[in-house]
Amino acid sequence: MHLPSQTRLRVRYAETDQMGVVYYANYFVWFEIGRVEFFRQLGWDYKQMEIADDCHLPVVEASCRYRAPARYDDEVIIETTVTALRASLIKFGYRLLRLSSDGNQLLAEAETVHVSVDKQMQKKRLPEKYQQAIRSTMS
Amino acid sequence: MHLPSQTRLRVRYAETDQMGVVYYANYFVWFEIGRVEFFRQLGWDYKQMEIADDCHLPVVEASCRYRAPARYDDEVIIETTVTALRASLIKFGYRLLRLSSDGNQLLAEAETVHVSVDKQMQKKRLPEKYQQAIRSTMS
Amino acid sequence: MHLPSQTRLRVRYAETDQMGVVYYANYFVWFEIGRVEFFRQLGWDYKQMEIADDCHLPVVEASCRYRAPARYDDEVIIETTVTALRASLIKFGYRLLRLSSDGNQLLAEAETVHVSVDKQMQKKRLPEKYQQAIRSTMS
Amino acid sequence: MHLPSQTRLRVRYAETDQMGVVYYANYFVWFEIGRVEFFRQLGWDYKQMEIADDCHLPVVEASCRYRAPARYDDEVIIETTVTALRASLIKFGYRLLRLSSDGNQLLAEAETVHVSVDKQMQKKRLPEKYQQAIRSTMS
């Protein structure tokens, strides 16, 4: 996997608010897309992690620093890395950039912290195969 | 129950878009609130219908006619009635009004059609207790 | 433009609800993406229509028939056509399909009706360049 | 104003995801409701602040710590206070609680930091009347 994991999306009309910019909560929806693509680029399907391994990763902490507003129809890039990993805890870092021919612009930086749980929301160790592969992305 | 079932809400900033009005898809979120309140005013909890009776009501058709835009911080009223009922089908009608001291203004009219299904999405008859009580609201 | 206009997207976790399927209001967000792509494939930028031509297309009617549920991580295709066009009114038709190697599955069919207005929400004729190009897609 | 400012809401079906709990980004929508109610309880209308004073408060930082999941139909309380105030910067603190007859349960704690800007997104001093009134809530 080339690091950081990158994924692109185009801003939807529904994601704007009456200030004419993207509503701040929607950035967290995008970061979730970044997480899913991080796993996909490692060769996994987050859907299968939930079904086959009964492994869910609810968020326990989330934070974002907004640098510049994203606007309707902007193309944005989400860069995702894992910045910390423990037995049943994983921390992602994100950078959100607006794609532009004269240099991409940083729109936001963020982190989310997740715990590994089963369907009953009981903490469980993140399976070894995920541990190893994720660790290989952290140099 | 006084008919139609009424429920009020205040427009959220998140529900607006860059036109400065409520994004059109969000009306359907409000109609769902109207449905839930319709059941609550009949003495039922939709959450319990899902858990205790394994009875879910996914939407098979939805339509809305938008008359005037709803805006941020407006207080709106959702009026909900059942307009048709069959063994495993239920049709709701909605009127959305902006609350105003000089007469409420009609913002939208809508319908949704639902089928009664179990957790596996198999069609099932809407339990008799619901059938009877709903029928009592339809004169 | 190859007709109908097609655009693909992948279902987001945020778009599901506790039934494990996509929440019904979110389909209307996707249809808006279909509309924007329809214009883009004709060579226009809906953003520029709003800014350069002061031409906005609020929805006056929307309806959807849900055939099968969309699920998290599904790849779906939105097919968009214009089915009616008058001076200041435009009607779109949509088909939503789940992409599958053994044949795509129809998930929903929908229509939206829009009027052409200026920033003050006053009805205005859809500019001639749009009229002509859209008409060329309707055989 | 009794402090902290409190506002209640009921969890919507649309706010859940397929884990059966409220999707994490939606908490930030609720905190915005808390902010609006904070201003309303001080006697102001955030809508009027935007229109009459050309004073907007975009978010520059947001963070949340999730303690326990909110579920469909839960009644939740948002407690909002201002925790820091400077010329053109305001910081809100939030506590989200599930209402329960045997003691409310803490669901989340959060902060958002805002700058005061005009319509062109240029930083401006928060008008004195707001400064004074907000300061009176901070002992």
User: What pLDDT, in 10s, does the model give residues B56-75?
Assistant: 999 999 999 999 999 999 99
CA dist list (Å): A29 to A61, A71, B32, D25: 14, 15, 22, 6
Phi then psi for residue C80, to 5 deg, are: -125, 130
Q: Pick the catalytic residue: C17, C45, C54, C118?
A: C17
Contact C29, C77 (CB under 8 A): no
Cross-strand pairs, D90: D85, D114
CA dist., res. B32 & res. C63, Å (int): 15
- The pair of three-digit structure tokens given for residue A12, joined into one six-digit string: 């939807």
**C25 to B25: CB separation less than 8 angstroms, yes or no:** yes
Position A136, amino acid: S
| Nearest residue in chain A measured CA to CA from D115 | A66
> Most distant CA pair in chain B: distance in Å?
49
Contact A92, A112 (CB under 8 A): yes
Whether the CA torsion D114, D24, D13, A13 is positive or negative: it is positive
**B26 to C25: CB separation less than 8 angstroms, yes or no:** yes
| Nearest residue in chain A measured CA to CA from C46 | A73
Q: Which of A14, A32, A46 sits opposite C32 (nearest CB)?
A: A14
**A73 to C36: CB separation less than 8 angstroms, yes or no:** yes
How many A/B residue pairs have CB atoms within 8 Å? 28
Average pLDDT in the D98-113 region? 96
Residues of B with active-site annotation: 17
**C18 to D17: CB separation less than 8 angstroms, yes or no:** yes
* pLDDT at residue B1, rounded to an integer: 67
| Nearest residue in chain A measured CA to CA from B24 | A14
Whether the CA torsion A27, A29, A32, A33 is positive or negative: it is negative
Q: How far is A2 from chain C (nearest CA, A)?
A: 22
How many A/D residue pairs have CB atoms within 8 Å? 56
pLDDT tens track for B6-33:
999 999 999 999 989 999 999 999 999 9
Q: How far is D76 from chain C (nearest CA, A)?
A: 18
Q: Report, as ranges of residue numbers, the positions in chain C whose pLDDT lies below 50.
A: none
Give contacts of A46 with chain C, Cβ < 8 Å.
73
**Model confidence at A1: pLDDT above 80:** no
Q: How far is C28 from chain A (nearest CA, A)?
A: 10
CA dist., res. A127 & res. D112, Å (int): 35
**A72 to B14: CB separation less than 8 angstroms, yes or no:** no
Q: Which of C14, C23, C72 sits opposite D25 (nearest CB)?
A: C14
Q: Which of A1-5, A35-39, C16-20, D45-49 has the weakest average pLDDT? A: A1-5
- The pair of three-digit structure tokens given for residue A127, joined into one six-digit string: 């399976």
pLDDT tens track for B74-106:
999 999 999 999 999 999 999 999 999 989 999
**Model confidence at A2: pLDDT above 80:** no
Phi then psi for residue C13, to 5 deg, are: -55, -40
Give contacts of D29 with chain A, Cβ < 8 Å.
25
**C4 DSSP assignment:** S
> In terms of Cα–Cα distance, which of D77, D131, D136, D72 is closest to D106?
D77
**C73 to A46: CB separation less than 8 angstroms, yes or no:** yes
SS3 state at A90: strand
Q: Which of A26, A56, A69 sits opposite D19 (nearest CB)?
A: A56
Output the DSSP codes for B2-63: -SSEEEEEE--GGGB-TTSSB-TTHHHHHHHHHHHHHHHHTT--HHHHHHHS--B--EEEEE
**Interface confidence (ipTM) of the complex:** 0.94
> In terms of Cα–Cα distance, which of B72, B27, C134 is closest to D14?
B27
**A3 DSSP assignment:** S
* pLDDT at residue D50, rounded to an integer: 87
pLDDT tens track for A60-87:
999 999 999 999 999 999 999 999 999 9
Exposed (0-12), middle (13-18) or buried (19+): which is B103, by Cβ within 10 Å?
exposed
**B45 to D72: CB separation less than 8 angstroms, yes or no:** no
Q: Which residues of D touch A (CB under 8 A)?
A: 19, 21, 24-26, 28-29, 32, 56, 58-66, 69, 121
Q: How far is A33 from chain C (nearest CA, A)?
A: 7
Write down the pTM of the prediction: 0.94
- The pair of three-digit structure tokens given for residue B113, joined into one six-digit string: 């059609």
Name subunits touching B (3+ CB pairs < 8 A). Answer: A, C, D
Contact C49, C116 (CB under 8 A): no
**Which secondary structure element, helix H or strand E, spans residue B132, and what is its range?**
helix B128-136
CA dist., res. A135 & res. A28, Å (int): 24
**Model confidence at A139: pLDDT above 80:** no
Residues of A with active-site annotation: 17
**A111 DSSP assignment:** E
| Nearest residue in chain B measured CA to CA from D32 | B13
Task: Give the mutation candidate from B13, B18, B71, B73 for the A interface (greatest A CB count, under 10 A).
Answer: B18
Alpha carbons within 13 angstroms on the beta-carbon side of residue C26 total: 22
Give contacts of B21 with chain D, Cβ < 8 Å.
none
pLDDT tens track for D59-94:
999 999 999 999 999 999 999 999 999 999 999 999
Quickly state the pLDDT bin for A119 (edges 50, 70, 90): confident
Quickly state the pLDDT bin for D1 (edges 50, 70, 90): low
Q: How far is C29 from chain A (nearest CA, A)?
A: 6
**B13 to A13: CB separation less than 8 angstroms, yes or no:** no
